[in-house]
Amino acid sequence: MITYTAVGLLGLLALSIPVGIVLFLLGIGIDQFFSSFPLLRGLGSLVWSSSNSATLIAIPFFVLLGEILVRSGVAARTYAALDKWVSWLPGGLIHANVATATMFSAISGSSVATAATVATVAMPQAEKLGYDPKLFSGAIAAGGTLGIMIPPSINLIVYGFLTQTSIPQLFLAGLIPGLGLALAFVVITAIICALRPSLGGERRTFPLSAMMRALVQLVPILLLFAAIVGSIYKGWATPTEAAAVGVAGAFIIAFFFGRVDLAMVGQATLGTVKITSMIMLIVIGASFLNFTLASAGLGRELQDFLNGLGLSAVSTMLVIVLIYIVLGFFIETLSLMVVTIPIMVPLVIQLGYDPIWFGILMIVLVEMALITPPVGLNLYVVQAARTSGNLSEVMLGVIPYAFVLLLMAGALLVFPQIALFLPALLN
C-alpha cells in the first residue's frame, strides 16, 4: 500500500493532473484495492467536515492580510528604514533584504508573498546602486522562505490541522529556528562579502539621528505583529481570530497610507479567493487520502515496513530528510507538505519523535524546496521582479542560503530543543 501510494503519487503528478485531484484519486484507489469497507461513502462527510473548519478560515484571512499589505506601500518604507540600520555590514543593502523579509515573515503567513513583496521594493535599488545581482536576488529568495517559519504561518496551520497538533505550539516552535535562520543568513552574507567584496555593494553608515527617525517607519509592522501574536498568547484570540485581527490591522495601515479604495479591495479579494480555493482543494484531498490510508491499516503496514528496513530511528530520519530534499527539487511547497503528511507523520510518530518538532523540520526542508530548481517558486518570484538578467543568476545566488537551511535541518536533528524549547516553556 505504501509502494502503491508513493508510485501512484509521483506518476499521476508527472501527468500534470492537479495535485488536489491526485490525492482524491489515490484515496479512491485505496478504497478500491486495499479496503474491505466501502470508504468512498465517507467522501461526502469528509469534504464537509474538513472544510467546515473554524481553524482553516485563518488561511483566507492571512492571505487577505498579505494581499492588502502588498498594496499598502508599507514595504518600501520598511525597506528604507532597515537599510539605515544594517547597511554598515559587509554586503550593505543585501542585509536589508534579509531584514525586511524577516519582518514581513512575522506578519505574513506565506513565503511566496514575502519574497514577492521584498523583491518588488528591493530589486530597483540593486540596479541603481550597482550590486552584484546574484547574491542580492538570492538573499531575497531565501529571506522570503522565512514567511512560512516565523509565525504566523499558513503552512503550519495546515500541518496542525492535518496532524491534530496544537497550532499555537507550532507557532512558538517556529520562532527560534526562524529567527536563527535570519541571523544565519545575515552572518553568511557578511562572511561572503568580507571575503569577496565585489559580490556585495557599498557599505554605508548613517548618522544616529537618521537611524532613530527611521525607526518610526517600522512601527506599523511591529504593531501588527504584536497585535497578531500578542492576541494569541494573551489568550484573547485563537490563531484563527488573530488572523481576523491581522486583516483589520492591514486595512488600518493601508488606510493610513491612503491606499484603500474599492479597486484595491476588489483585487485583494479576488486574489484571496483564488489562493484559498487552490490550497483547500489540496487540503481536502489530503484529508480524504489520510482517512483512507488510516482506515485501510497504514499504521500496521508502516510498522512492518520499518521493521523490514531494519534501520535505526536516526538513520530512518536521515532517509526521510533525503527524500524531502529530492522531492523538493520537483514539487511545490504546500503540495510537498500535504502529499507527504499522510505517510511521513505517522511514520515519524511510530519512530518516537515529537510531531511538533517534525513539523518544524519539515518547514525547513520545504523552505529549501522553495529555492531549489527546477521547481522553486521563490526563484521565479524574484526573477519576475527583475528587469534584466536571467534566472540562473538567482539560482547561483541562493546556494549559500540553501546551505544554511541544510545546516539548520542538521541542527534540528541533533538539538530538537531548538524547536521544542519555547513550547515546553509555555506548558
Partner 1 sequence: MADSVLHLMRTLNRGVAYLIGIMLLACAAFVLADIVLRQFGVSFGGTDEISGYVMAIATAWGMGFALLELSHVRIDLLRQRANPLGRSLFDIFAMIVMTAVVLIIAYQCWPVLERSITNSSTANTPLETPLVWVQGPWFAGWVWFAIVSTLTTLSALTLILQGRFAESEQAIGAFGEAEML
Binding residues vs partner 1 (CB under 8 A) = 13-21, 24-25, 28, 40-41, 43-45, 47-48, 51-54, 56-57, 60-61, 64, 112, 116, 231, 236-238, 240-241, 243-245, 247-248, 266, 269-270, 272-278, 280-282, 284, 330-332, 334-335, 374-375, 377, 380-381, 383-384
Per residue, the 3-state secondary structure of 300-344, as one string, reads HHHHHHHHHHCCCHHHHHHHHHHHHHHHHHHCCHHHHHHHHHHHH
Contacts of 242 (CB under 8 A, 6+ apart): 58, 152, 227, 228, 229, 231, 232
Least Å distance between CB 92 and partner 1? 27
Whether residue 94 contacts residue 201, with contact meaning beta carbons closer than 8 Å, is answered with yes
Least Å distance between CB 207 and partner 1? 38
Sign of CA dihedral 231, 234, 235, 236: negative
Nearer to partner 1, 189 or 231 (CB): 231
Contacts of 295 (CB under 8 A, 6+ apart): 35, 37, 39
Least Å distance between CB 269 and partner 1? 3
Nearer to partner 1, 93 or 368 (CB): 368
Nearer to partner 1, 99 or 283 (CB): 283
Nearer to partner 1, 266 or 410 (CB): 266
Among 400, 407, 421, CA closest to 200: 400
Least Å distance between CB 123 and partner 1? 14
Distance separating the N- and C-terminal Cα atoms of the chain: 38
Nearer to partner 1, 42 or 180 (CB): 42
Whether residue 203 contacts residue 386, with contact meaning beta carbons closer than 8 Å, is answered with no
Nearer to partner 1, 1 or 334 (CB): 334
Whether residue 131 contacts residue 94, with contact meaning beta carbons closer than 8 Å, is answered with yes
Q: Give CA–CA dist 364/372, Å, rounded.
A: 13
Among 261, 41, 297, 280, CA closest to 161: 280
Least Å distance between CB 87 and partner 1? 28
Q: Give CA–CA dist 129/118, Å, rounded.
A: 17
Nearer to partner 1, 35 or 238 (CB): 238
Q: Give CA–CA dist 155/39, Å, rounded.
A: 28
What cell does 170 get? 507550532
Least Å distance between CB 227 and partner 1? 11
Nearer to partner 1, 29 or 180 (CB): 29
Residue 329 CB neighbour total at 10 angstroms: 13
Least Å distance between CB 232 and partner 1? 11
Least Å distance between CB 33 and partner 1? 16
Nearer to partner 1, 156 or 370 (CB): 370
The SS3 assignment for 203 reads coil
Contacts of 161 (CB under 8 A, 6+ apart): 53, 55, 56, 167, 283
Nearer to partner 1, 196 or 274 (CB): 274
Least Å distance between CB 384 and partner 1? 5
Among 233, 114, 172, CA closest to 359: 172
Least Å distance between CB 146 and partner 1? 18
